[in-house]
Chain A
Amino acid sequence: DQQVKQNSPSLSVQEGRISILNCDYTNSMFDYFLWYKKYPAEGPTFLISISSIKDKNEDGRFTVFLNKSAKHLSLHIVPSQPGDSAVYFCAASGNYGQNFVFGPGTRLSVLP
């Protein structure tokens, strides 16, 4: 039973355009949502997070949007750069950091 879903296994975007990565979850007890980026042969690195009491969080080129009623969040990257090419994981946890769950990931390719 996948509690965190990323239905697009891959996404290709032209350099300079917007990348939108989507994530859906089923567990209404999740309170924190995070995005991690992973390059080959490396561990995931934290990108951005959002608490369930917010609907938007921004950090430079990265913005995460949360629609709690739809149990949906998305990561926007503007503008996309070739160095953003990686696998992006959506993750969620309870309000004390417990029950940490990752989605299956979306591979983003930013084309020059």
Chain B
Amino acid sequence: EAGVAQSPRYKIIEKRQSVAFWCNPISGHATLYWYQQILGQGPKLLIQFQNNGVVDDSQLPKDRFSAERLKGVDSTLKIQPAKLEDSAVYLCASSRLYRSGGGTDTQYFGPGTRLTVL
């Protein structure tokens, strides 16, 4: 079974520029997550999709970050404009389903995109 794919693996940009990250989840996984991991910290959930609907985006800085999941499969995360404090690893994860009946499914993570903002 192929894992979660992310691209690019590394990106260096100047502040105020735009950047986009792409994620392809494991086939058949209904739920997709984007995390931001700043050096020395644990991953922080930015947004959670079930199929192509948003379940939780309470920690997404919506003035500069946006995300979409077209057709409930691939997803893109965009930052526009980038700030120095956005330097981090952006992780995408997927799981089989969002359990409306209770419980939690294992999340499978991609390798991440390391963003450096200069």
Contacts and interface: CB of A to CB of B under 8 A. Distances in A.
Interface of A: 4, 32, 34, 36, 41-46, 49, 51, 89, 91, 93, 95-105
A104 B99 contact: no
Interface of B: 4, 31, 33, 35, 40-45, 48, 55-56, 91, 93, 95, 98-112
Contacts of A93: 104
Contacts of B108: 45-46
Nearest to B58: A99
Nearest to B101: A96
B interface secondary structure, majority: loop
A95 B102 contact: yes
A46 B106 contact: yes
Given A98-B55, A100-B48, A103-B42, A43 B102 contact: no
Contact of A32 (B101, B104, B109): B104
A102 B89 CA distance: 15
B45 A100 contact: yes
Contacts of A44: 43, 91, 109
Contacts of A45: 108-109
A101 B109 contact: no
Contacts of B110: 43
A43 B4 contact: yes
A42 B43 CA distance: 13
B112 A97 contact: no
Given A49-B104, A97-B98, A101-B45, 20 more contacts: A4-B42, A42-B112, A43-B93, A43-B109, A43-B111, A44-B91, A46-B106, A46-B108, A49-B106, A51-B103, A96-B101, A97-B95, A97-B103, A97-B104, A97-B105, A98-B48, A102-B35, A102-B43, A104-B42, A105-B42
